A = this chain, B = another copy of it.
Amino acid sequence: MIELRHLKTLAALRDTGSLVEAAERVFLTQSALSHQIKDLEERLNCSLFIRKTKPICFTSAGQRVLTLADEVLPMIRNAERDIARLAGGETGRLNMAIECHSCFQWLMPTIDLFRENWPEVEMDLSSGFSFSPLPALARGELDLVITSDPQEMNGICYEPLFSYEVQVALSKKHPLARKSHIEPEDFVEETLICYPVDRNRLDVFTRFLDPADIEPKEVRTAELTVMMLQLIASGRGISALPSWALTEYVDRDYVAVRPLSAKGIWTTLYAAIRDDQRDAEFMRDFLTTARETSFRNLSGIRTAAK
Contacts and interface: CB of A to CB of B under 8 A. Distances in A.
Given A3-B3, A4-B3, A88-B45, A83 B71 contact: no
Oligomeric state, in copies = 2
Interface stretch (A50-58, A60-68, A242-250): A60-68
A44 interface: yes
Contact of A72 (B60, B65, B76, B84): B76
A86 B68 contact: no
Contacts of A88: 45
A3 to B, nearest CB: 6
A44 B84 CA distance: 7
Contact of A4 (B4, B46, B80): B4
A82 B46 CA distance: 12
B46 A87 contact: yes
A79 interface: yes
A27 to B, nearest CB: 13
Main secondary structure of the interface of A (DSSP, over half): helix
A262 interface: no
Given A68-B76, A76-B72, A46 B2 contact: no
A75 interface: yes
B64 A1 contact: no
B76 A45 contact: no
B64 A86 contact: yes
A60 B45 CA distance: 39
Given A2-B76, A71-B75, A72-B76, A61 B87 contact: yes
Nearest to A46: B87
Nearest to A86: B61
B76 A75 contact: no
A210 B1 CA distance: 44
Interface string A148-175: 0000000000000000000000000000
A83 B84 CA distance: 34
Given A44-B87, A45-B87, A72-B72, A2 B65 contact: no
B44 A83 contact: yes
A75 B4 CA distance: 12
Interface in A113-147: none
Nearest to A3: B4
Given A44-B87, A72-B75, 7 more contacts: A3-B3, A60-B86, A61-B83, A61-B87, A68-B76, A68-B79, A72-B76
16 contacts: A1-B80, A2-B76, A2-B79, A2-B80, A3-B3, A3-B4, A44-B80, A45-B88, A46-B83, A46-B86, A60-B86, A61-B83, A64-B82, A64-B83, A68-B75, A72-B72
Interface of A: 1-4, 44-46, 60-61, 64-65, 67-68, 71-72, 75-76, 79-80, 82-84, 86-88
The 4 closest A-B pairs by CB, nearest first: A46-B87, A68-B79, A61-B86, A61-B83
